[in-house]
Amino acid sequence: MRYRIHYILAVASSLICSAVLLQPLSNVLGDTGRKPESTAKKVQPKTKLIKIENGLRIIDLCFPKGLLSDDNGSITLVQLGTGYGASMERPGDATVGAWIPGSTSYQTLLNGGVGSEIRFNGDIELDSLLIQASFPERLCVRRVASGWAYVCGRGRLSFKDSGTSITVGEERTTDECMRLLASENAVLREGAARDLGRLVRPQDRTRAVPALRTLLDDSSSYVRCGAAEGLALVGGAEAFAALKAACAATSERTSERDCFDYWVAVSGGLTLLGDPQAGDIELAEAARAFLGDSAAGTQKWAMYSFAGSAVFDLISDGRTWSPDTLASRLGSMSPDVRLAAVRLLAHVHVDTLRERLQRIAESDEDARIRQAANATLKSMDAK
């Protein structure tokens, strides 16, 4: 069972404002090459698209008064049937409440303070604006002083009033991201670091990893966490080592430390599943990263629920893995590797391993593993 908390939101068109463009359409889509029409009357689109400010693309999402708080936080909006869910999928995500459309009073759902992040996954309709994005290329925006700035991912924005649409993120390539890592704008550096994880192939690691490792010391915490995400998804032992070093350097338990721990755990989980892009990370070390370091005095609270769910999403959307490899982990001589494999099965349901999991639940010599196997079996039954 995937450990996410979803709250269904049926978003009514009367409650969400349409997006408002702050510059002429031609500035966004470019010169069409057509001559101006000679007619005196010209129909102007009610909805315009996007503005460019200091290299950032600003989308003016007008939410109704009271829907956004002034607090800083992050959340993912996920398409769920005809409604929308707010998903807590990462450490630090805000807890959200129920919202009944048409009600005169409703609980604050989304953080809208400067620095807040919203990730769109699926087809999300905000009145006259339709946002279409999917994992792992979900569209991510961050609140800056002048509006919601595009950060990373890819999505299509369609505006019903004007009949126009634009795709953001399609210009992001490995080379373009490498260039943007040196930008003076922190949002551009963050987005490039995160997109590199999605775009880089193993043959590009030698130039991507050193650049991302440098950003772990960036002056912006958002960039530092973006670099951690990029390193985890780029994969390989060098990236894994850089992430672990960043965790060690951030000794206090902070939101940034949780972020680093989270991506270290994702790296470990991908290694345990046999994802080739995860690289040559030592198996026992990967298992300890996924499980958390209890010897350090605290279990990494975000580990196998948040990180396991992230690993599940990654392999569901293209990261390769091998059920046979996971099966071999269940028979490992290392208790940590066996325990991590059992917990991964709670997210990556492989029915052919159910009988083996039942034997583990009954007879494994480690009580922790027996308990985890029983919990995984219950989650598989629930699904």
To the nearest whole number, what is the mean pLDDT of the chain? 78
Higher model confidence: residue 94 or residue 361?
361
User: In whole angstroms, what is the distance from residue 368 CA to residue 334 CA?
Assistant: 13
Q: Enumerate domains of the chain plus CATH numbers.
A: 8-24+45-168 (no CATH), 172-234 (1.25.10.10), 256-382 (no CATH)
Average pLDDT value for residue range 65-74:
78
The answer to whether 142 and 149 have CB atoms below 8 angstroms apart is: yes
Both structure tokens of 362: 């009954």
DSSP single-letter state for residue 278: G
- Asked if residue 185 has pLDDT above 50, the reply is yes
User: In whole angstroms, what is the distance from residue 239 CA to residue 4 CA?
Assistant: 27
Q: For residue 9, which amino acid is it? A: L
Q: What's the number of CA atoms in the CB half-sphere (13 Å) around residue 113?
A: 8
pLDDT at 188: 97
Average pLDDT value for residue range 348-352:
87
pLDDT at 300: 47
pLDDT at 256: 85
Give Cβ neighbours of residue 7 (< 8 Å, ≥ 6 apart).
Answer: 85, 86, 96, 97, 98, 99
The answer to whether 357 and 342 have CB atoms below 8 angstroms apart is: yes
pLDDT in tens, 156-182: 998 877 788 889 999 899 999 999 999
The answer to whether 191 and 151 have CB atoms below 8 angstroms apart is: yes
The answer to whether 217 and 189 have CB atoms below 8 angstroms apart is: no
- Asked if residue 311 has pLDDT above 50, the reply is yes
- Asked if residue 2 has pLDDT above 70, the reply is no
Q: How many CB atoms lie within 10 A of CB 294?
A: 10
The answer to whether 178 and 214 have CB atoms below 8 angstroms apart is: no
User: In whole angstroms, what is the distance from residue 334 CA to residue 291 CA?
Assistant: 13
- Asked if residue 307 has pLDDT above 80, the reply is yes
Would the CA dihedral through 294, 300, 306, 312 be positive or negative?
A: negative
Q: Classify 48 as helix, strand or coil.
A: coil
- Stretch among 6-15, 245-254, 269-278 having the lowest mean pLDDT: 6-15
pLDDT in tens, 363-372: 999 999 999 9
pLDDT at 272: 93
Average pLDDT value for residue range 304-309:
76
- Asked if residue 10 has pLDDT above 70, the reply is no
* pLDDT band (50, 70, 90) for residue 186: very high
In the chain, helix, strand, coil percent, each to 5?
Answer: 40, 15, 40
- Asked if residue 196 has pLDDT above 90, the reply is yes
Q: According to the per-residue pLDDT averaged within each range, which of 59-68, 185-194, 200-209 is highest? A: 185-194
Q: How many CB atoms lie within 10 A of CB 122?
A: 17
Give Cβ neighbours of residue 44 (< 8 Å, ≥ 6 apart).
Answer: none
pLDDT at 364: 95
pLDDT in tens, 246-274: 988 886 767 888 888 889 999 999 999 99
- Asked if residue 32 has pLDDT above 50, the reply is no
Would the CA dihedral through 273, 274, 280, 284 be positive or negative?
A: positive
pLDDT at 247: 87
Helices assigned H by DSSP within the chain: 25-29, 174-180, 186-199, 205-215, 221-234, 237-249, 255-272, 283-291, 308-316, 323-330, 335-345, 354-363, 367-382
Query: What does each C-alpha distance from 137 to 73, 169, 227, 238 come to in angstroms?
Result: 21, 9, 17, 25
- Asked if residue 28 has pLDDT above 90, the reply is no
Q: Measure CA 360 to chain center.
A: 33
Q: Classify 84 as helix, strand or coil.
A: strand
Average pLDDT value for residue range 226-247:
93
Omega before residue 136 within 30° of 0, cis: yes
pLDDT at 84: 57
Q: For residue 338, which amino acid is it? A: R
Residue identified by tokens 């999402």 is 61
User: In whole angstroms, what is the distance from residue 102 CA to residue 85 CA?
Assistant: 17
User: In whole angstroms, what is the distance from residue 136 CA to residue 302 CA?
Assistant: 20
DSSP single-letter state for residue 234: H
- Asked if residue 33 has pLDDT above 80, the reply is no
Give Cβ neighbours of residue 170 (< 8 Å, ≥ 6 apart).
Answer: 154
pLDDT at 166: 87
